[in-house]
Chains A and B, each alone.
Chain A
Amino acid sequence: MLKTFKMGGVHPEECKLSEHSAIETLEAPDTVYVMLNQNLGAPSVPVVNKGDKVKTGQLIAKGEAFISASIHSPVSGTVDKVDSWIDASGYRKPVIIIKKEGDEWNDGIDTSKELVKEIKASKEEIIDIIKNSGIVGLGGAAFPTHVKLMVPQGKKAEHLIINAVECEPYLTADHRLMLEKGEEIIIGVQILMKALDVTKAIIGIENNKPDAIAHLTKLAASFPGIQVQGLKVKYPQGAEKQLIKAAINREVPSGKLPIEVGCVVQNVGTTFAVYEAVQKKKPLIERVVTVTGKKVSKPSNFMVRIGTPVSVLIDKCGGIPEGTGKMINGGPMMGKAFTSAEITVTKGTSGILLMDENESGRVKEHNCIRCARCTMVCPMGLEPYLLAMAADTANWEIAEQHHIMDCMECGSCHFTCPSGRQLLDSLRLGKNKVGAIMRARKN
């Protein structure tokens, strides 16, 4: 039986153009540009210098703060420079540039294709390996996984929920991963269950991927603790809080984390990375990226090394199509439009969408007609029209009182508004300013 979340939600066109394209492993490019800020939290600190020789999988940057992650070299070769490079926002950020030489992997990494079923590591060892492999959430938020697995004192995890929903239109990376690496994923789930000391795991998959649901249900059948749950297709089912509500009918309280209701949520891509790290000793150096768009000649899914320039991926799909209006890093609902194809793949890059120019422009903006559709579709039960008005008129107290910080920037309100109001822009500005005020107040 399909489950869903009750509050809000919208139905954008699914456009899963690349769902039948098998994952193609791309050769590592000649030069990789590894951004130093690939995760939520503090940027990583480089431990290599210009001229150093590195092997594939070797540590090149350390996570020093509590919420940070380490980064490993995606290729073997020489460090060209530690400099700055353009990222999706158009601003230049710190980067380590490495020139590829050969294909030498770091000691201890198992590069064979053999499936390793037995989980030898203990609970503490698992979390340690995950930390030292630089694994972060591959769903897009890129939160360091080892921090999520360290359950704070006084709280207990009861459920592990695997987020295989992929509710964003166009993206199919997780879908293909489930079909092609299903067994590895199930082992990854078991590893995570061991790390958290839980006996129940639920894999949530949206119903537009019936083949994945069937495949994983079959694989999970021999493991009584692992259950596959089909979910109704509704955006944003893949949001953590909505997924928990649908799967186990519990609401994470405002301002708190999922562990508050005994849950830890992990993306299915992260689960696969966990398998590779714990069973194959392979740190996170590559991920699946969907390259798609209505005019793209070959919408595809690639297994790419971190640091690969996006231009390489686009060329592999037939180049930027004529009449492209916008290039998007991620999905069309929450992804960031970027300025130049010079940007590179990071741990949080799930897809590159080349949008046609007819669809790229925003709709014309009119007065708010107070139709309340934004309020009806908000999955967090907020009132976007009121929050946007507060943000536009710099009324930060009202914005804070009406819980603007609960907004997860899913874009449902902006998507629905019949008057074309630019709601999410205002909400983002409001969140920025109110967040800064709240932080200043704490100090």
Chain B
Amino acid sequence: MSLFTISGSPHLHDRDNTPRVMRLVVIAMLPAFAASLYLFGLGAVKTMAVAIISCILFEYLIQRYMLKGKSTIGDWSAIVTGILLGFNVPSNIPVWMLIVGSLIAIGIGKMSFGGLGKNPFNPALVGRVFMLISFPVQMTSWPKPIESASQLTDVITGPTPLGILKENLARPGTTVQQVVDSGAIPDYAQMLMGNMGGSLGEVSALLLLLGGLFLIFKKVITWHIPVSFILSSVIFAGILWMVDPTQYIDPLFHLVTGGLMLGAFFMATDMVTSPMTKGGMLIFGIGCGVLTILIRVFGAYPEGVSFAILIMNAFVPLIDKIKPKRFGEVVKS
């Protein structure tokens, strides 16, 4: 008989492991992916494929040849980063730009800090923000959905509803009502389903919500960050709207446009870059929500989710200093 083993307790292990958790995240993103295929067609296929494959490739090359370690692509985190990066760009982005974005996301956003678990910033967002700042024109011209689905080149582009709103409100004297009445912004039903300009992943709020609820049900994420993120942005936007409805659009608009749903369920909840305690997660969510609305309404960019999350990521080590309640904690009166 072969030798017995000796090791410390416990001698049992839960079946859960990192690849399984990541696979559940991929499954949760499939409905939104399907919607993006329908709305943006061939462009979506090309973009998603390039994003996923280049992320995996870069992680493998950097891990094996630069860091001389074992390959880590088996933990599926590169695939998740690839999908999220793909979700954050327009479907007609030039391939080389996307590849550069993947290199930054994986190389600088993740591997330069030591690989999975050691990065302070969400890698997909690092890639996206880098691309936004380096290639502002291509990153802000969004193909019109459905019309562009069958074409790979020469697609008709335009700004997102948030972009439309910001441009129009910038003209003095314009009110929100005028912008809505002019028909420049699609109606709410269409926006909920995703029939609006935007990046691949941000368009269909309903399907993203479905995916998010799936993740909460499967206990991959907890409700704290998505709920606090969404509620705080809705409440903050709501307060602004009640103060001056002519200048500030209603909170429902904020909810269905832009990357709010994608950010709240899939990007802010990234385990590595979010706080470890429940109280900390609530603070993180509130910070993200308030910052998102601030940047959208008062900032120079039409969309604020990426920057809001990255800024809050920087605060996470500080937030983690808040201790969870201990059992039998002696509270000094």
Contact = CB atoms under 8 A, between A and B. Distances in A.
Contact of A333 (B1, B10, B274, B329): B10
A368 interface: yes
Contacts of B14: 10, 12, 415-416, 418
Interface in B306-330: 323-330
Given A328-B11, A372-B271, A419-B18, A337 B324 contact: no
A416 to B, nearest CB: 5
Interface stretch (B112-120, B123-131, B243-251): B112-120
Interface string A26-43: 000000000000000000
A382 B14 CA distance: 20
A315 interface: no
A255 B328 CA distance: 9
B272 A369 contact: yes
A337 B17 contact: no
Contact of B10 (A253, A324, A334, A370): A334
A254 interface: yes
B18 A12 contact: no
Contact of A326 (B1, B11, B21, B326): B11
The majority secondary structure among interface residues of chain B is loop
A339 B3 CA distance: 10
Contacts of A13: 12
A375 B276 contact: yes
B276 A254 contact: no
A325 B274 CA distance: 39
B6 interface: yes
A420 B75 CA distance: 12
B78 to A, nearest CB: 13
B171 interface: no
B12 A375 contact: no
B1 A322 contact: yes
Interface in B5-31: 5-14, 16-18, 20-21
Contact of A337 (B7, B115, B275): B7
A380 interface: yes
Interface string A392-426: 00000000001100100101001110111010110
B153 interface: no
B6 A379 contact: no
A367 B328 contact: no
Contacts of A370: 117, 271-274, 276
A335 B11 contact: yes
A411 B72 CA distance: 27
A367 B4 CA distance: 28
A248 to B, nearest CB: 14
B9 A334 contact: yes
Contacts of A333: 9-12
B18 A414 contact: no
Contacts of A414: 10, 13
A363 B118 CA distance: 21
B168 interface: no
B9 A336 contact: yes
Interface string A292-336: 000000000000000000000000000010101111100011111
Nearest to B20: A418
Q: Which of B6, B16, B75 has most chain A Cβ within 10 Å?
A: B6
Contact of B6 (A326, A368, A375): A326
A224 interface: no
A49 B329 CA distance: 50
Given A322-B1, A416-B14, A375 B9 contact: no
A366 B326 contact: no
B175 interface: no
A415 B12 contact: yes
A367 B67 CA distance: 15
Contact of B326 (A254, A357, A360, A428): A254
Q: Which of A334, A416, A419 has most chain B Cβ within 10 Å?
A: A419
Q: Which of A254, A369, A379, A428 has most chain B Cβ within 10 Å?
A: A369
B325 A360 contact: no
Contact of B16 (A12, A366, A418): A418
A368 B114 CA distance: 11
B333 interface: no
B277 interface: yes
Given A370-B271, A375-B277, A332 B12 contact: yes
A418 B16 CA distance: 5
B182 interface: no
Given A251-B327, A415-B13, A418-B20, A372 B276 contact: yes
B1 to A, nearest CB: 7
Interface string B257-280: 000000000000001111111000
Given A367-B116, A367-B117, A370-B276, A420 B10 contact: no
A290 to B, nearest CB: 15
Contacts of A241: 327-328
Given A367-B115, A372-B277, A380 B10 contact: no
A362 interface: yes
Contacts of B327: 7, 241, 245, 251, 254, 379-381, 406
Contacts of B114: 367
A339 B328 CA distance: 37
A360 B11 contact: yes
A254 B328 contact: yes
Given A241-B328, A253-B330, A338 B6 contact: yes
Interface in A328-387: 328, 332-339, 353, 355, 357, 359-363, 366-372, 375, 379-383, 385
Given A370-B276, A372-B276, A337 B13 contact: no
Q: Which of B1, B4, B10 has most chain A Cβ within 10 Å?
A: B10
A13 to B, nearest CB: 7
A252 interface: yes
B6 A418 contact: no
Contacts of A255: 330
Name the 9 nearest CB pairs between A and B, nearest first.
A411-B10, A367-B117, A381-B326, A372-B276, A371-B271, A332-B11, A254-B328, A337-B6, A380-B327
Interface of B: 1-2, 4-14, 16-18, 20-21, 72, 75, 114-118, 271-277, 323-330
27 contacts: A241-B327, A241-B328, A245-B327, A253-B328, A254-B326, A320-B1, A325-B4, A326-B6, A327-B4, A338-B6, A357-B5, A361-B5, A366-B72, A366-B75, A368-B117, A370-B273, A370-B276, A375-B276, A382-B326, A402-B323, A415-B10, A415-B13, A416-B14, A418-B14, A420-B13, A422-B8, A428-B8
